[in-house]
Amino acid sequence: MPALHSNRKPRMLPRYLTTRKLTALLFAACFTLSACDAGKAPEHSVEVAVKGLYSGAISNDGKLSVIGSIHHGGSLWRSSQNERLYNWNHKQGEYSNIIASGFSPEGDFALTADHQTMVLWSTQSGKALTFWTSPSQVHDIALSNNGNFAFLGLHDDSAVLFDVKRGGVKRSFYHRNRVTAVALSDDGKLALTGSDDSDAKLWDVNSGKALFTWQHADEVVTVALTSTGDKAFTVAKYDKAALWDTQTGKLLGELPLRASSLRRGLSFTAAKFSSDGKQLLTGSSDRKVQLWDVKTLQPLASWTVPKRDLFKPTSASIVAVGFSAISGKYLALASNGFSHVLKR
């Protein structure tokens, strides 16, 4: 078959558009399109740890943050001014590896944990109030009102409610594998646990009874409760992110996740309900922060926090999210060592 020919001359690129310039323009266009798909950039970002974070926590009112730095130990920050208030380490003269932290609901106390020791701090004075050793390696913590009780997710397949002021374990809650995620309602009456056994459990704290067991297809990595405890959020790796009614145990719905994201193991690594329970803020393992309407489970806003180095194949997980004291603004701590202010 004869070849097809055209009398049209090939269109030449303008002389000034060199290969290098064309490559740069294409890269810029792709980057712009990717940024649009990924959501907004933060309004403001500040480095709080030189090499990254082990952990982080944001107070309910958004005014304070605990930073667990990889190289510089623990510290308390005033979020609005990006100001380091106190250095918090478990041994004098040494940097502690703070792998978990949390605030009491009213924000007057904070708890920090390395693998087996914990310290209760006053956020007003910055002083250490109580120090104790955990019965097993700590994976996650939650703190009750006025810092009276600490709820610990442990490596020995249990979660324990520890009496901080008097000392000793008040109650234990058991799974079939390590407990990696915990949450408490503000009144301390309900507790939520997530485990590598693929179960999330809602507990009556006073009786120690499991009210509901919600099964996932893989290990549960993130849990959250509304302040009143009427709704629970549970997330499993390679599986759904689910919202539950804690009165009936029924599934209210799932956050929409792409099947391709689930197959890659992308999941929500941080979650927090607004004080009125109407919104849910989530952070992901791919640098994304999203705001959701709890009633419709539809996204209201989306942001992507920047990488530490734009041209290197590195990413960052969101380790903590929070609602700012300023309306319409939100907070996120990323594992690459940055604190971000997000504006809707």
pLDDT at 165: 81
**In-domain check, residue 233:** yes
Helices (H), 105-173: none
pLDDT tens digits, one per residue of 205-250: 999 999 999 999 999 999 999 999 999 999 998 889 999 999 999 9
The least confident of 13-17, 204-208, 290-294 is 13-17
pLDDT tens digits, one per residue of 120-169: 999 999 999 999 998 899 999 999 999 999 999 999 999 999 999 888 89
DSSP 93: T
Q: Which of 8-12, 164-168, 175-179, 326-330 has the highest mean pLDDT?
A: 175-179
**In-domain check, residue 137:** yes
pLDDT at 241: 94
pLDDT at 308: 84
Asked whether the beta carbons of 162 and 149 are under 8 A apart, the reply is yes
Q: Mind giving me the DSSP string for 27-91?
A: HHHHHHHHHHHH-BPPSEEEE-SSS-EEEEEE-TTSSEEEEEETTTEEEEEEGGGTEEEEEE-SS
Of all helices (H) and strands (E), which one includes residue 260? helix 259-263
Within 13 A of 129's CA, how many CA atoms are on the CB side? Answer: 19
**In-domain check, residue 12:** no
pLDDT at 32: 36
**In-domain check, residue 16:** no
Question: What is the rounded radius of gyration, in angstroms, for the C-alpha atoms of the chain?
Answer: 23
**In-domain check, residue 4:** no
pLDDT at 173: 98
State the pLDDT confidence band at 314, using cuts at 50, 70 and 90. Answer: low
**In-domain check, residue 27:** no
pLDDT at 261: 63
pLDDT at 166: 84
Range of the domain at 178: 38-343
Residues 6+ apart with CB under 8 A from 81: none
Q: Work out the average pLDDT over 181-191.
A: 97
| Mean pLDDT of all residues belonging to the chain | 87
Count up the domains in the chain and report the number.
1
pTM: 0.86
Q: What is the CATH number of the domain that holds 263?
A: 2.130.10.10
Q: Is the pLDDT of residue 98 over 70?
A: yes
pLDDT at 265: 61
**In-domain check, residue 249:** yes
pLDDT at 179: 98
**In-domain check, residue 214:** yes
Q: Is the pLDDT of residue 105 over 90?
A: yes
| N- to C-terminal Cα separation, the chain | 61
